[in-house]
Structure 1
Amino acid sequence: MTAEPITGHSSRWPVPPQDGYTVDDLFTLPDLPPHTELLDGSLVFVSPQRIFHSRMIDLLTYGLRSGAPRELKVVREMTVVLDRRNAPEPDLCVVRAEAVTGPELTRFEAADVLLAVEVVSPDSEARDRDTKPQKYAAAGIPNFWLVEMAGSDRHPVVRVYELDPVNKAYALTGIHHDRLKTGVPFPVDLDISPEALDAL
């Protein structure tokens, strides 16, 4: 016995290929929602974000841009191609300035990224904490920051990781609560207190 096709129902969602989507598909499929990511050949759609997410990205973007050397650029929400089946969109990246080739640019290669930052959202906790860091490390991105709310007062916390090139895994180098101070990918000293966040 075979299943009869369901009639009278049309789906707007694309049917995935047997081996999953590729980076080429991500950039050619029509009508994908903004900020769609590609992880292990699957399309990942982003849910609406909380104000913490938006403000934290703004705070880090402004702070990093003010201290970045000329040879580096700070960009937000741009696709990073890790391999043929993985093209996530970090919330924030520090990239080599020569990789910013013009206003039509839609993606960066992993080799041009020095720092990837993920601000954790309720719908993306597992991806932000586990899946993406493993993939960024495997692609050789030297630095990764994980940002989340913590404690009963829901204050920002930034965990700073550095790539161990031998293991191709990240090692935690610091946990920052009110002030983010680190030397990589360049000297950074930022106020990340709840007051700084509320001032935005």
Structure 2
Amino acid sequence: AGFLPLTAGAVRWNGHDLGPMLPGERPLTILFQEQNLFPHLTVAQNIGLGLRPDLRLGKGELARVDQALERVGLSGLGPRRASQLSGGQASRAALARALLRARPLLLLDEPFAALGPALRAEMLALVREVADEVAALVLLVTHDPKDAIGLGGQTVFVADGVAMAPVSTAALFANPPDALQSYLGPK
């Protein structure tokens, strides 16, 4: 993701070294549990940062921001300061910004922790939908089995600091390793 300088090796995407690239030029978007919204900016400005960090948005870009707000269920909240949003609204605003960037790699670190079950499922479905639209690879970190199952694809299960090889999510939950079964509880 580029938060820390490399001490060895290289990070490559489709054969390109990402190291020398500026963060905004990299082919990825990251969405954290904390949402990383700027509290002094409006919701629309926070989302607009996904398009132009200088916030000099044209009419077409402003329309895309409005569409993103509508898509995550925040129509009409664009003028509100980010600091005035509830936790769930902030999660959705951050998701709108991430989806608007339409990068080929979407890293999601517990992005829906502040959402209730129904809205969580709705936002996960939206991530799947947009990922399909832009052919993005989604890497989701979650402690919620429903999120992993809902996203489908492959899962890398991590236990005691050791990552297992990627496997089909359906196969993983059909025959969970002992550590996962212990986490899930009795069958």
User: Considering the TM-score relative to the shorter chain, is it more than 0.5?
Assistant: no
Q: Which protein has greater RCO, CA pairs closer than 8 Å, 6+ apart? A: 2
TM-score, with structure 1 as normaliser: 0.30
- Answer 1 or 2: which has greater helix percent: 2
- Answer 1 or 2: which has greater strand percent: 1
TM-score, with structure 2 as normaliser: 0.32
